[in-house]
Structures are given as structure tokens and as C-alpha cells.
Amino acid sequence: MYFRILKKDLKRKKTMNVILLLFVILSAMFAASSVNNIVAVVNGLDYYFDKAGMTDYFSATRGEENDIKVDEFLKDSEYVTDYGTEEIIYTTSESFRRGGDKLYDFSNVGFVQNVDGCFLNLFTADNKILKSVDEGKVYISGAGMRKADIEPGDKITFEMNGVTKEFEFAGFLKDALFGSEMIGNPRFLINDKDYKDILKDETTAEYSKGRLYYINYTDKNAFEESTAEISPYLVLNFSRSMIEMTNIMNMTIAAILLVLSVGLLVVSFTVLRFTISFTISEEFREIGVMKALGLKNTSIRGLYLVKYFGISVIGAVIGYFASVPFGKILLASVSQNMVLGNDNSVLYGILCSIGVVLIIMLFCWSCTKKIKKLSPIDAVRNGQTGERFKKRGVMSLSKSRLGSTGFLTINDILSAPRQFGMIMLIFTISTAIVMILSTTARTLASDSLLYLMSVTESDVFLSDSERSMNTIASVKSIEDTNREIEDILKENDMPGDVKMESWYKIPTEFGSTKKNITFMWCRDTKTTDYEYTEGTAPELENEVALTKLVADDLGCGIGDTIKLTINDKTDDYVVTAIFQCFNNLGSCGRLNENLDMTKTPPATSFYYQIEFDDHPDDKVIEERIEKLKDIFDTENVFDKTGFTKDCMGVADTLATVRDMVLILTLVIIVLISILMERSFITKEKSEIALMKALGFRSDSIIGLHTARFAAVLIAAEIIAAALSIPLTSLIMDPVFGMMGAIGKIEYKFDPKEIFLIYPAIILAVTTLSAFFTSLYTKSIKASDTSNIE
Amino acid sequence: MKTILNVTELCKTYIINKRQNNVLKNVSFKIDEGEMVAIMGPSGSGKSTLLYTVSGMDKMTAGSVEFCGNDISSLKENELAELRLEDMGFIFQQMYMMKNLTVLDNIILPAVKSKRNKESRKETAARGRELMNKLGIAEVADNDINEVSGGQLQRACICRSMINRPQMIFADEPTGALNHRSSDEVMEELTKLNDEGTTIMLVTHDAKVAAKCTRVLFIVDGNIKGEYNIDRSVSLRDRERGLNNWLLEMGW
């Protein structure tokens, strides 16, 4: 008897049961994939770095003499527990060509490496550690290289100091050290024989060979202070925390996924709670009839619990299996550069699915509490006891100026605030996520962050790795290089001034604290041209400005005197200002332009900044950029917006994530609209039949059902648009803060995009799904008024 | 008298589980303006199907139905909807109402929807209140539909059926869900409406209700088996007695 009732129920209320099953599947899928992604993202870098075998500290040398000095230092250092090395060949983007053209303009130096000499684990696209490379093949790492439009199997020509080799591209690598968007050094992993062939050239072996050092230490501060001794022999040096910071944009995207996952969890449980209470409220009549027949409360409650348990178990199992590919889609954009995951994903997935079943049973238990209160008379009254004192309708048709469809739309929404409020909440969360991403992507792709690169405004920014290498290696001075570029500009009828920011690694002391700090210096600009958050620009030779990060690290502030050792000479310098910048992850300082740094080779040189004499407009600048690309044979020529975008590196990835989230949002909104509308049709069957009997045309009813979703979505979009700017600031400020921007970020948002394009896309898709679902009302006839229970 | 509803050879067939079920078999009858016709018959005889089919709520399988001279079988879905809205009124056994509207709003909803109605919203509301007043339920105008009794609700349904000044009212067991007193009140209102000139066709099981009409059609197995004219000038008790005798002859 018990199971016969159940069987009949499942068959007769097929639509509502199927809708409930679909929501359970969605919830289990969202919950399992979200929890797994949250675990993966939270443990993301640690998991990735552990798998890669990252050490506490990393540095790079160039030239055998320097290698020997660093080796001796590390062997003798009391703080070093162990270290590993990799032999590398320094190279530039000039060396890699495809069909005569540069393969890709990577702005920094690249490293050619023998796969057999790898210390760090590098991963292939399917997260396998690269152990060997076939002769004639090359694997490439580095986020920038992914923009090179290159497919496995493509041929690449390598040419360096007269040695030419043909390689076949084998695939991209995930590189824990150089793989992030913020580091522009790609690695080229090749076979031992190919590597030796390149080193056969004496110039290469003598001048381009170097080493990467991976170091573990016992005392962070003591070791980092002691590295001041070897600082002149190092080309690059980073601590693990700094490398972690270079992955910040990947982590930003991961964090956005985390927010999205939490959003999905909220959406799934809200929907579930609604669906259960909705379906149980539909059962009032039957509960009353069962009570009238003499069934006990526990038996009736048990009947529903068994039914929902069955549905939730089936839904949770399907949802668990669906969560695996769904989770992978969510993580795809991040896992392109990182190995993300967790070793317990199956366990978490199963636990989440069980959790969904338990939560459903809990919801069901709480909803079926009402059974006790229901009397057989509810069978007649269809669940209405008549003891409701709150008015259901809140508007009055007799006083309204709206037409019947418009009135019913608004009145229905206002009369069921919980139902439509829940839909509005889901729509608001989904729309706000898209808007936040859009604003962030636009900000990153604009010049509003230019000041955070600590450069002055210029017409054009040019990156020339060959010339930069020459200045770093003291082959040519910065001044001569600038003049050389100015001459080229003059020859091509676009005369202008050229300047360049140089970065110097300078041993710095304050009290007992010693650090190697990166200082920026530009002879052709004034320190007053830059922005500072506190204090005044360092206008004298013995004055400096520091970022807040450096000032905190040293323990000093404005007015304090610090010691800098430049060219073996230690002098006092007064800190006059604090500023913010993204360079070197916010860890840097600025020297006064009058300080003579011409005798010190820079550790890094930034972009060549060009300011044309004739102050051309944007269109002319654009034309000149194209011309300069040909002249300097490089794609790395930008206007200020392009320059900021290139420095941030992640703008394009974020735009891709934004598009993916937009698609995901649309899918969720479409699913929810379809399922909700289908539930409403089932619930409102009697009203639909009545309206038809009263003479409402089918298109009026379809219009009403569609308009309700459209109205709720428009309200949700208005709320989301109003909240998008403060929410963007709330969520993204800490992320930019971690990169060095401690002050207020001026977010760029495109009103057309925020208020028109995205809302219109979401509105169109939602309205269409609600419209197509509401076509089902056509199957309800006016004469169904006689068949309604 | 002008014929308002002319039904000729009407057939309605349902196919359930691949089995053909002929609910109405060549039904023919006429209803003249100002008549109040009751359809009676045993359960499953096709009474409600007949009402829904002749009012254009359900499609006929064969035959023809002329309403005010228009053949409704040739009308499209939207034209039928307009006809129901402007020229017909409906009263159902279950007192269906829109749950999010007050009683008055439910009553005036068809008038607001009507294209023929040129009144202002205020005038429509006033007319709704006037109808409610006439049927003795003015005090519940602003009530929620759950806050009124079944009898009041059914009278509100009558008001709603009247709001667009229809040519004819179709009522499917209008007293079926009401107690004796409410049932009498509702029938009194319907009779009054009929006396004022509104044509009514109603389906009922109750001989007492049918006795208040001007004519009774008795339907068995989808066929009209007999027709009984009632003289309203005689006392209600005599009308009931006469009708009951006739129904007994019909095998009721």
C-alpha cells in the first residue's frame, strides 16, 4: 500500500518530481565541484609548489666566474641547508623564428635548458612531469608564450651566434618559477644532444651560459641579508614569497572562481530549499485526504521522506559524476599555468553529495513539520486554512493605471516576495559577478594603472630586449642607447626624446636591518613627475622615496635616514616620500635623477619611453607605433594603455575568464528560469485555465509569465549595477593591495558594458528561456477548469 | 424570440489510451434570448462537456455551434478568447479566482482586459462595487479571496461573469460546492439576472436548482433524451414536483 502510493505519486507528479531531481543534480554538481575547487584554490600554490619541488629562494647568474663565486658562497653559508642548480643559455626573442618571423616577442631574456639538467619539476598540459625530450623537439614554458599562436608540430628555427637548429614544438609547460603572467622569461626545454650542439659555439659557451640556483635556507632574514655579499654576481634573485606573488593574478582568477563557487553553492541551496517547500505545499490536499483516511502523521511524513530520499540519492549520484567535468571547466583558465587540484577530490565529491542528501532530508524534515498541523479539512481547502491575516495581494487593480498584464506581473511578484526575492537574489549574484569581472578586466586593460608602473606618461613605450641586454652587460650605456633610438626616430621623420627607467639592486641598511632593494632611476625625468601617497618627492641627491612594502620591511618611515651602498660607497639618504607601485611586486624605491648612476650597470632596464616633439594625436601615435614595430622588428611597441596591459599581463586572461563566467552565468540563469517557470506553470495550472476561460488570450498569459522573469531580472540587474562598483572595490582592492597598490584604485568601467551590453545579453537569454518555457501554458485549455484538483 | 445559441449535430470524442470515447453524439438544441436553461443528467452523461464545447472552451469533433449568429467552430483560438471575454460569462463549481487579487479586483479583471470597455479604471471599479452591492457582498470588496465564505465567493464569481455585460452566462454546477442556504442565495441572484434579460445555461444535478429555470434538457450518454418546459408563474413547490415527476419518467 505504502509503496503503491509512492509509485503512483512518482508517476502522477512526474513534472514536479523531475524538476526536483534536476535541482538536486544541479545542487550536488555545484556543491561537489565548488568544494573541490575551493580546496584546490586555497591550497593552490602550496600544492603546485610542492609538486614542482620549489625551494625557499631562487637566483640566477651569468658567466662562469660569477657561478664560482655564488657556489662558494652557498657552500660556506651557515644558513643554507641545500641547493640545486640548472645550467642555462641566455637567449632573446631574436633567436626563435617561424617562417622568417619572430616566434614571439618576449620582452625579457629567455632560457634554453637541457631537460636532463632540470632541478625543478616542469609539467606538461596533462600535469605529468617532463622527464625527457626527443631530439629535435622543444617544450616551452611561460604565460606570455601562450599568446604565440603556436600548435604542437609547428616548426621553429633557432639561431644563435651562427648555430642554426630546427625544432618541432612539442607543447607548453607549466613552470612554477617562470610560468606566471608577471614574469616574462620563457624557458625552452630541449634534448641533451641539441643543447650540446648549441654550446659548441664558443661565444655562446663563454658569454651566454649561466645558472639558476634553487636554495633552501634555515633563516629567511639572515640568509637574505647575507646575499648582499653576492648581489653583484646575480642577474635575478627572488624569495619563494615573491614567486608566490608573481602568481597573484593566477590566484586572483582562482579567487574569482572561489567567489563564483561560493555563489553557486548559495544559489544551489536556495533553489533546493525553495523547491522542497514548494513541492510539499503542493501536497496539502493529499496530506489532508490521507489524514481523513486515518493515516498517522508519522506514516504520512515517512512517505514524503522516503520519496525525497530516493530522489535526492539519485540526484546526488548523477550530480557527483557531473561535478567532475564541470569542476574542470571552472578551473580550466587557471590550470593552464598551474597544477591545481587536491589529492582527495573523490572523497570531497562523495562527502559533498552525501551532504546534499542530508541537507535535502533536513529541509524535508523541517517542511513536513507542517503535516502535524494540517487537518482533513485542508483536503477541501487545498492547504488554505483561512486563518491568514496578512493580505496576499499588495496592489489594487481598481486603483492601478497599469494594464491587466502589467498589473498582474507586478502584483504576482510583490505578492510572493519569498519566491521572486529568491530568484532575484540568484540573478543579482550572477549578474554582479559578471559586472565585477568586466570592471576589473577593463581596469587592467586601461591606462588608469599607469602610475602604478612608476613611469611618467609617454607617447610610446618600446621594449627592445637586445638593446636592454647590452646596457645590462655594459656593452653600451643607457644614454648612448637612448641617443641611438632618437637618431632612428629622426631618420624616420618622427623626432622625439627617449628616456628609460633603469632598475638597480642596491644593498640597503636601516639600523640593523640589511636588504637588497630594487631602486628605480631615470636621468631624464624629475622625481616630482611621479605620484606619492605620503611626503614630498626626493628632490635632492641624498633623498629617496620608498614603497610602503620596503619601508615596512626596513622598519623606517618618512624622515628616517637609510644607508645605500652604490659602487662600493656607502652614504646616508633621507626617506622623503612613500609611493605605491606594481614593479617588483611593490618592493622598490626611487632615486633622485641628479644622482650619478651612469657608472653602475643596471640589473634590469624597463621600456624605452618615447615622447614625440610634435605632440601628435592618438591616431598619429597609432600609425607611428605600427611603423616602429617594423623599424625595430618587434611587436612590443605600445601606447600607454597597451603598456599598462602588457605590464599587468593578465588582462587578456581575465577577459577570457569574464567571458567564461558570463557563459556559465547564462547557463545557470537559463536553467533556473526554465525550471522555475515550469514549476510555476504546474502550480498555477488552475489560474492559467481560469484566465483562458475568462477570455485571456494565450499570448497574454505567455506575456505575463515571461514578463515576471524579465521584471525580476531587470530589478536584479539594477541592484547588481548599483552594487558592482563598491563590490569591485571591496573584492579587488585587497588583491591589488597585495601587489603593491595600497591606495585607492580608480576602477574603469564602461557604462555601455555594465548598463547595456551585459544586462541586455542576460535579459535577452533569460526572457527567451522564460518565453519558450511559458509556451507550455498553451497546452492548458480553458476547459481544464473542470479537471483541476 | 431571437435564438442566441444554435447547436446542430454536435459531437465530441475523446481518445483515451487509444480508445475512442464518444461523449456527445449528434446533440442539437437551441437557446433563445432571455431563456434560463438547465442541463441535467447522470454523472458521466456529458453535461459539463456540452457546456464547455458550446461555450468555445473546448473544441468540438463535429457539428456546429452558432453563438449570436457566429459559427464558433470556424473561429481561431484568439477569436474564441475574445468571444469569451466580451460576450460570455462563466461561473464554475469550484469558484476559481486569482489568488493574488482582492475580491473586487477579481471581478473587474475581465473589464480591465476588455477592449470594448471604454470606462476609466475608476468607473469600472465603481461598476464592480455596484454589482457586488446588488448581490449583497459589497462589504467584502477589498477582502482577500480566502477571507470570504463559499457563498460570497460564488456571488463574486457571478459579478465577475456579469462585468462585461455578456450576451449569455454559462454556469457549471454553480451551487455544487455550496451549502443549502448559499445555494438558494446564488440561485436567487441568477434568477434575478435572468429576469432582467440575461440568457443563462447551467449544468446541475439538483432538481431544486433546475426548477428555477425556464427549460430543462435531460442528457443521457451524450444524447438529449428529453426537454421539459417550466412555467415560472406557478409556485416553486409545484414546479419542483412537476420536474421531479418528469425526471422519474426519464429514468433519473
Q: What is the pLDDT of residues B85-119, one digit of tens each?
A: 999 998 887 778 888 888 999 999 999 988 888 88
Nearest residue in chain A measured CA to CA from B164: A694
Are B57 and A693 a contacting pair, CB within 8 Å? yes
Same domain, A513 and A610: yes
Of A621, A638, A655, the residue that ends a domain is: A638
- Do residue A785 and residue B94 have CB atoms under 8 angstroms apart? yes
Number of domain units in chain A: 3
Q: Which DSSP string corresponds to B91-153? A: E-TT----TTSBHHHHHHHHHHH-SS----HHHHHHHHHHHHHHTT-GGGTTSBGGGS-HHHH
Domain span at A486: 460-638
Tell me how close the Cα of B170 comes to any Cα of chain A, in angstroms.
Answer: 11
CATH number of residue B220's parent domain: 3.40.50.300
Q: Does A403 touch chain B (CB under 8 A)?
A: yes
Q: Which of residues 157-196 of B touch A (CB under 8 A)?
A: 160, 172
Q: What is the pLDDT of residue A284?
A: 67
Q: In what order do the strands lie in the sheet with B19-32?
A: B19-32, B3-16, B62-67, B70-71
Q: What is the ipTM of this complex?
A: 0.85
> What's at B11, amino acid-wise?
C
Residues 6+ apart with CB under 8 A from A58: A177, A212, A213, A214, A215, A236, A237, A238, A239, A240, A243
| SS3 category, A22 | helix
Q: Which residues of chain A have pLDDT under 70?
A: 1-3, 5, 12-13, 41-42, 107, 182, 245, 247-265, 267-272, 275-276, 278-285, 330, 332-337, 341-343, 370, 373-393, 473, 585, 649-651, 653, 738-744, 786-789
Number of domain units in chain B: 1
Residues 6+ apart with CB under 8 A from A622: A639
A507: nearest Cα among A562, A565, A549 = A565
Same domain, A664 and A766: yes
Most A CBs within 10 Å: which of B79, B98, B148, as the mutation test of the A interface? B98
Same domain, A659 and A757: yes
Position of cell 568544494? A35
Nearest Cβ partner of A695 from B52, B84, B124? B84
Most B CBs within 10 Å: which of A398, A688, A780, as the mutation test of the B interface? A398
Same domain, A433 and A471: no
Cβ contacts (< 8 Å) between B52 and chain A: which residues? 782-783, 786
Nearest Cβ partner of A692 from B81, B102, B160? B81
Same domain, A629 and A689: no
Query: Phi, psi at residue B219, to the nearest 5°?
Result: -115, 130
Label residue B10 by pLDDT band (50, 70, 90).
very high
* Residue count of chain B: 252
pLDDT tens track for A42-51: 677 778 888 8
- Do residue B77 and residue A686 have CB atoms under 8 angstroms apart? no
Same domain, A509 and A420: no
Of A638, A659, A675, the residue that ends a domain is: A638
Q: Does B58 touch chain A (CB under 8 A)?
A: yes
A99 is a domain residue? yes
- Do residue A695 and residue B52 have CB atoms under 8 angstroms apart? no
Cβ contacts (< 8 Å) between A690 and chain B: which residues? 92, 96-98
Nearest-angstrom CA–CA distance, A514 and A505: 13
Domain span at B13: 3-249
DSSP-assigned beta bridge partners for residue A556: none
Are A238 and A212 a contacting pair, CB within 8 Å? no
Question: What sections of A509-597 are H helices per DSSP?
Answer: 548-554
Tell me how close the Cα of B8 comes to any Cα of chain A, in angstroms.
Answer: 21
DSSP-assigned beta bridge partners for residue A140: A172, A188
Same domain, A629 and A572: yes
- Averaged pLDDT of chain B: 88
pLDDT tens track for B206-230: 888 899 999 999 999 889 999 999 9
A737: nearest Cα among A749, A729, A725, A748 = A729
B83: nearest Cα among A697, A275, A136, A458 = A697
Same domain, A683 and A630: no
Of A638, A673, A704, the residue that ends a domain is: A638
Q: What is the pLDDT of residue A389?
A: 45
Is the alpha carbon torsion for A701, A705, A708, A714 positive or negative?
Answer: negative
Tell me how close the Cα of B226 comes to any Cα of chain A, in angstroms.
Answer: 25
A426 is a domain residue? yes
A342: nearest Cα among A706, A48, A591 = A48
Query: Phi, psi at residue A69, to the nearest 5°?
Result: -65, -45
Nearest Cβ partner of B144 from A393, A407, A408? A393
Same domain, A614 and A757: no
The answer to whether residue B57 scores a pLDDT higher than 50 is yes
Instruction: Average the pLDDT over B27-39 and give the result.
Output: 92
Same domain, A137 and A105: yes
Identify the top-confidence range among A217-226, A352-361, B181-190, B242-251. B242-251
C-alpha cell at B140: 467584502
A520 is a domain residue? yes
Q: What is the pLDDT of residue A255?
A: 64
| SS3 category, B36 | strand
Q: What is the pLDDT of residue B203?
A: 92
C-alpha cell at A184: 616574462
- Do residue B90 and residue A392 have CB atoms under 8 angstroms apart? no
Same domain, A585 and A668: no
Same domain, A624 and A736: no
Nearest residue in chain A measured CA to CA from B84: A695
Q: What is the pLDDT of residue A268?
A: 65
Cβ contacts (< 8 Å) between B132 and chain A: which residues? none
A49: nearest Cα among A139, A130, A122, A110 = A122
